[in-house]
């Protein structure tokens, strides 16, 4: 197992920070196994047909609940066991198939996709990842059929992204041979009706100390949930507080080992973040479809509004950004399926890119459709309300920018430290180059598989990687360990890296398409790729050039001033 793990290629984002592109690992663009693709195709088609006849998204939003009958029917369709292995009565979907299902579901109803994600992406995932055979045999068949709905309980009133501040405890009771859970969790999706909860708490006592993951079942003495919260969007989801008062958890309901709780939570959230990015891609496609329909029908000044430049610019941007987000999601899911590994940085970046793309797309859609976008009887306002949460849950986009980028900086940081030590030791040029390793300052080259028809875009990408990785070295040389506290710089590096990763995914995807069917049949993809890469390259260079500008100091000073005064600091009258 260890040898296989070491044989895996480095994560794609690590190479971007090093100024080095592992061409073999990301080309050709991953394709689904034909047999699994056929099953995924049928599953998505079955959901689409069911939704056409049975799904009333307006009613779900208005009533602020997903009816029990809808949940039951999703279970009967087999969708609630999509990622559960076949031996436990599930469909055994890989990451790509599951992302496709979430994408289609989000196109129809965001509340429904969040319900599914809370059940499978994160609720049942600790069991799937770390459950022992007895736990899986006991619980997963019910999960697969939908008889046992799952929920994931991590967030607390005083700890959101800072899981280390968690206060829920699991005290070992030696006399009874159980853990006693005490504490509260908030904003738990499916909290009103889930039967099985993956609960994270800090264990104390003779059976181990540290964070752990515990199975709690509805109906256990001392467990309760509050009423469903009234929310701005995804109003159909049941979001509640959970309370634990001396809830007894037997040792056989501990998932994994005591002390592994944070590790289990982080690996679980990786799946949730990637599938959330896929769902956002589906939402973007649906919004674009509605915007185009309106723009081709609405007439102003004796012309359809799609003929006007500012409308065309919006629609073009929406399509290109959706293509970039989609490419990043399915490159990541394909690599996970192919190599059977985790890609937490890439999954987090896909969540950031997908959620921010959807927010831009839905905003542009409302602008394209004009006044009706603000009217309650049309679906646009619901899309706007539903989209906003994606930038917050499953880890805020700010936290994912910081955590992912700090992780990706580890390898270049080692190389820069080695270089600085070599310089101090007075080594010659050859010694310095060896010490610097992969980031010796050479320019990144265009991937060899980029065809001539998009050679310019390949050169744009290589130039952006070169500028980005050179800035990474410069930043690390100046800050070294202090980089941990440089949030302005980390944010800009994150935004640059996210755009570079999407550019890499787009290049791999369109190059694979061209190689398979030729330039003529790839014309649509080539146009989308050119539009996306041209803008993404500009974004990367902008972030690189803006690192540590005077504006950072202005932001610090203004934030201090606002904190002191508590209001707008320069009233005119």
Q: List, in order, residues 6 or more apart from 23 with CB less than 8 Å away.
A: 447, 448, 449
Q: Is 394 a known active-site residue?
A: yes
Torsion of CA 308, 311, 313, 314, to 10 degrees: 180
Query: Could you give the CA distance from residue 253 to residue 215 in angstroms, rounded to a whole number?
Result: 5
Query: Could you give the CA distance from residue 212 to residue 179 in angstroms, rounded to a whole number?
Result: 11
Q: What is the pTM of this model?
A: 0.95
Question: What residue spans define the domains of the chain?
Answer: 151-262, 409-561
Marked catalytic residue, from 65, 104, 360, 394: 394
Q: List, in order, residues 6 or more apart from 555 with CB less than 8 Å away.
A: 488
Query: Could you give the CA distance from residue 161 to residue 336 in angstroms, rounded to a whole number?
Result: 25
CATH architecture group of domain 151-262? Beta Barrel (2.40)
Enclosing H/E stretch for 186: strand 178-189
**Residue 549: its pLDDT value, please?**
79
Enclosing H/E stretch for 212: strand 210-217
Residues of the chain with pLDDT under 70: 1-6, 160-161, 163, 427-442
**Residue 436: its pLDDT value, please?**
56
Q: Is 434 helix (H, G, I), strand (E, B) or coil?
A: helix
* Alpha carbon of residue 501 to chain centroid: 14
The answer to whether residues 163 and 262 touch, using CB atoms and an 8 Å cutoff, is yes
Query: Could you give the CA distance from residue 339 to residue 274 in angstroms, rounded to a whole number?
Result: 16
CATH topology of domain 409-561: Butyryl-CoA Dehydrogenase, subunit A; domain 3 (1.20.140)
Q: List, in order, residues 6 or more apart from 24 with CB less than 8 Å away.
A: 9
Query: 297: burial class by Cβ within 10 Å (0-12, 13-18, 19+)?
Result: exposed
**Residue 271: its pLDDT value, please?**
87
The answer to whether residues 280 and 359 touch, using CB atoms and an 8 Å cutoff, is no
* Alpha carbon of residue 255 to chain centroid: 24
Q: Is the peptide bond preceding residue 28 cis, with omega within 30 degrees of 0? A: yes
* Alpha carbon of residue 556 to chain centroid: 29
**Residue 2: its pLDDT value, please?**
40
């Amino acid at each position: 197992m260890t040898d296989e793990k070491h044989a895996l290629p480095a994560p794609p984002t690590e190479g971007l920070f090093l100024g080095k592109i592992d061409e073999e690992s990301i080309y050709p663009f991953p394709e689904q196994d034909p047999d699994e693709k056929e099953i995924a195709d049928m599953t998505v088609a079955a959901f689409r047909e069911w939704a056409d006849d049975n799904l009333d998204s307006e009613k779900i939003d208005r009533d602020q609940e997903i009816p029990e009958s809808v949940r039951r029917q999703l279970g009967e369709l087999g969708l609630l066991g999509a990622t559960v292995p076949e031996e436990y009565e599930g469909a055994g979907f890989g990451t790509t198939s599951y992302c496709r299902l979430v994408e289609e579901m989000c196109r129809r109803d965001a509340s429904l996709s969040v319900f599914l994600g809370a059940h499978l992406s994160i609720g049942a995932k600790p069991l799937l990842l770390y459950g022992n055979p007895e736990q899986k045999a006991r619980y997963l068949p019910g999960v697969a059929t939908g008889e046992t709905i799952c929920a994931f309980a991590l967030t607390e009133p005083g700890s959101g992204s800072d899981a280390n501040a968690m206060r829920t405890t699991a005290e070992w009771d030696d006399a009874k041979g159980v853990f006693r859970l005490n504490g509260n969790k908030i904003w738990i999706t499916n909290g009103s009706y889930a039967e099985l909860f993956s609960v994270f708490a800090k264990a104390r006592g003779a059976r181990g100390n540290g964070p752990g993951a515990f199975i709690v079942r509805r109906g256990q003495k001392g467990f309760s949930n509050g009423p469903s919260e009234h929310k701005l969007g995804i109003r159909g989801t049941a979001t509640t507080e959970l309370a634990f008062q001396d809830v007894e958890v037997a040792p056989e309901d501990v998932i994994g080992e005591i002390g592994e709780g944070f590790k289990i939570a982080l690996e679980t959230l990786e799946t949730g973040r990637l599938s959330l990015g896929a769902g956002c891609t589906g939402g973007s496609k649906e919004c674009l479809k509605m915007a185009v329909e309106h723009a081709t029908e609405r007439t102003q000044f004796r012309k359809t509004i799609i003929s006007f430049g500012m409308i065309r610019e919006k629609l073009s941007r929406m399509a290109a950004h959706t293509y970039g987000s989609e490419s990043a999601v399915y490159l990541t899911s394909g690599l996970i399926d192919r190599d059977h590994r985790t890609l937490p940085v890439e999954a987090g970046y896909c969540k950031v890119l997908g959620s921010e793309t959807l927010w831009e797309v839905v905003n542009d859609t409302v602008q394209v459709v004009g006044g009706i976008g603000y009217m309650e009887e049309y679906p646009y306002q619901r899309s706007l309300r539903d989209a906003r949460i994606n930038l917050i849950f499953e880890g805020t986009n700010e936290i994912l920018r910081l955590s992912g980028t700090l992780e990706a900086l580890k390898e270049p940081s080692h190389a820069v430290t080695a270089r600085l030590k070599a310089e101090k030791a007075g080594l010659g040029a050859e010694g310095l180059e060896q010490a610097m390793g992969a980031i010796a300052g050479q320019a990144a080259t265009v991937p060899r598989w980029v065809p001539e028809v998009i050679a310019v875009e390949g050169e744009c990408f290589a130039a952006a990687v070169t500028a980005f990785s050179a800035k990474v070295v410069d930043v690390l040389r100046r800050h070294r360990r202090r980089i941990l506290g440089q949030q302005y710089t980390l944010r800009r590096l994150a935004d640059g890296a996210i755009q570079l990763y999407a550019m890499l995914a787009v290049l791999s995807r369109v190059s694979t398409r061209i190689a398979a069917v030729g330039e003529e049949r790839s014309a649509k993809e080539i146009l989308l790729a050119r539009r996306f890469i041209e803008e993404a390259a500009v974004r990367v260079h902008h972030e690189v050039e803006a690192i540590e500008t005077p504006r950072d100091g202005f932001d610090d000073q203004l934030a201090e001033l606002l904190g002191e005064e508590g209001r707008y600091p320069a009233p005119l009258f």
